Amino acid sequence: EAGVAQSPRYKIIEKRQSVAFWCNPISGHATLYWYQQILGQGPKLLIQFQNNGVVDDSQLPKDRFSAERLKGVDSTLKIQPAKLEDSAVYLCASSPDLGEKLFFGSGTQLSVL
Amino acid sequence: GIQVEQSPPDLILQEGANSTLRCNFSDSVNNLQWFHQNPWGQLINLFYIPSGTKQNGRLSATTVATERYSLLYISSSQTTDSGVYFCAVDPNTGFQKLVFGTGTRLLVSP
């Protein structure tokens, strides 16, 4: 069974530029999550989708971050414009349904210079 | 919001030793999951354990939800067990989202 796919694996941009990350969850998983992990810390939830609807985006900096899951399958997370403090690993995860076991992708390591 | 504290923060073991990692949480939860983040950054789900005890090979976990803690046992540790161990809880808020703990960094030396 294929796991959670993410791309790109690494991205380096300058501050004020834009960047987008892509995630394809495990087939059949209804719930998709985007987490941000800053070096030395645990992952922090940015946004949670159930099918193509947003369940929770209370910790998403909406002035610069946006995410969509239009067809209830794959998802895109965008940052525009990026700031230095956005340097982190962006992790996508999925679960069969709300409150079930979580599976993570390999993450995208973002460096903002 | 809920606080999730893990101990110890760092642990160094000789290969073959046993260890116990602890996760304390400040409020009632719907479920609890344990993860291992390997040195390459991949997070692997070890256990989904809202209560009771589960075992998977050399690893086992126990959650006592009424007392708000969970324990992860690693027996006969191997160098491949190195990395960071996170517990994550789903607070009883109705949103069913995971809040991660502070992590325990484990180094197993040969």
* pLDDT tens column, A38-97: 999 999 999 999 998 999 999 999 999 999 998 889 999 999 999 999 999 999 999 999
- With cut-offs at 50, 70 and 90, classify the pLDDT of residue A1: low
Amino acid A23 reads C
Residues of A in contact with B97 (CB under 8 A): 33, 45, 48, 55-56
A66 touches chain B (CB under 8 A): no
Q: Is the dihedral of CA B23, B88, A44, B78 positive or negative?
A: positive
Please check the confidence at residue B95 and state whether its pLDDT lies above 80.
no
CB atoms inside a 10 Å sphere around CB B91: 19
Does the pLDDT of residue B59 top 90, yes or no? yes
Residue B81 phi/psi, 5° resolution? -80, -10
> How many helices and strands in chain A, by DSSP H and E?
0, 11
Q: Single out the residue of A31, A32, A28, A30 nearest to residue A6, CA to CA.
A: A32
Which positions in chain A touch B102 (Cβ < 8 Å)?
42
From B48's Cα to the closest Cα of chain A, the distance in A is 6
**pLDDT tens digit sequence for A16-41:** 999 999 999 999 999 999 999 999 99
Please identify which residue in the block is written with the tokens 């708000």: B68
